[in-house]
Amino acid sequence: MTTAPPWRQNLRLLATHPDVHARIVCIPPAGGGASFFHPWAADLPPGFELWAVQLPGREDRLGDPPLSDLLLAARRVAAALQWLVDRPYVLFGHSMGALVGYEAARILATQRVPGPRHLFASGCTPPDRHVPNDEPLSSPQQVIDELRRIGFSSDALDDPETRAVVIPAIQHDLRMFYSYAHRPGQQLTCPITVLVGGEDPHVPAADSPGWSRHTTAPVRTGVLPGDHYYLLDSHPEIIARISSSLTG
């Protein structure tokens, strides 16, 4: 039995245009799959491809055991990205996805593999400000309560059949996110843009400049209307910022 290459396992192509000159690779928040970024396809500029990370335990990988180690997730993403380095690319990660993207970029740097031209860290405090939390979130209700605490709003959480399908992946992702502890060492050399929702109660905009401790390149910050999931309504502006970072 042939094992699929890392990009086929862990990445999904959401949209493309002729004469591709750059790629946007998105990493979803805890519990999210590649389809989280499907709405972005309609606003993709000419010449770009849109890719999204698909970690195990969700959507078309529902039968694969979920991960509980963020660095392992980052290693899998880094291995997949090596198949895309023939074009410039930007990494965009939201919440947990921002940490996965950051760590994946660090791994590529240590391996001397071309990394992202730009990292967009959305809805996430600087890695060294992340405080590990060993709360087990052992029951489905604890997971639902935590999702609602951080601002996730979906009728799917009220449906028992849907909960039975999605809660295991979310539970592992939250453990992965909350157990993460930053390790000093490799700095990035690409610019970082930090975006947060102005009404996000969990990610203060005042913390955004702290990402400058993690790269030797410039760090830009931006505040957009909305809460922790501000990007659901702001993706056209976000895509414009991303494309500008590659073409400007």
Mean pLDDT across 131-140: 67
State the pTM of this model.
0.90
pLDDT score recorded for residue 171:
79
Give catalytic status of residue 95 as yes or no. yes
- Among 8, 4, 11, 17, residue whose Cα is nearest residue 33: 11
Please write the tens of the pLDDT for every residue from 65-83: 888 899 999 999 999 999 9
Give yes or no for a contact between 105 and 127, defined as CB atoms under 8 angstroms apart.
Answer: no
pLDDT above 70: percentage of residues in the chain: 85
What is residue 83's DSSP assignment? T
Among 49, 14, 15, residue whose Cα is nearest residue 34: 14
**What is the pLDDT of the chain when averaged over all its residues?**
88
Catalytic residue selected from 94, 95, 243, 245: 95
Question: Band of the pLDDT at 213, cuts 50, 70, 90?
Answer: very high
Catalytic member of 94, 118, 172, 228: 228
Catalytic residue list contains 130? no
Check residue 87 and report its DSSP letter: S
User: Where does the pLDDT of residue 1 fall: very low under 50, low under 70, confident under 90, or very high at 90 and above?
Assistant: very low
d(CA 49, CA 31) in angstroms, rounded, equals 24
Q: Pick the range with the lowest mean pLDDT from 40-54, 165-179, 220-234.
A: 165-179
Residue 3 has pLDDT above 70, yes or no: no
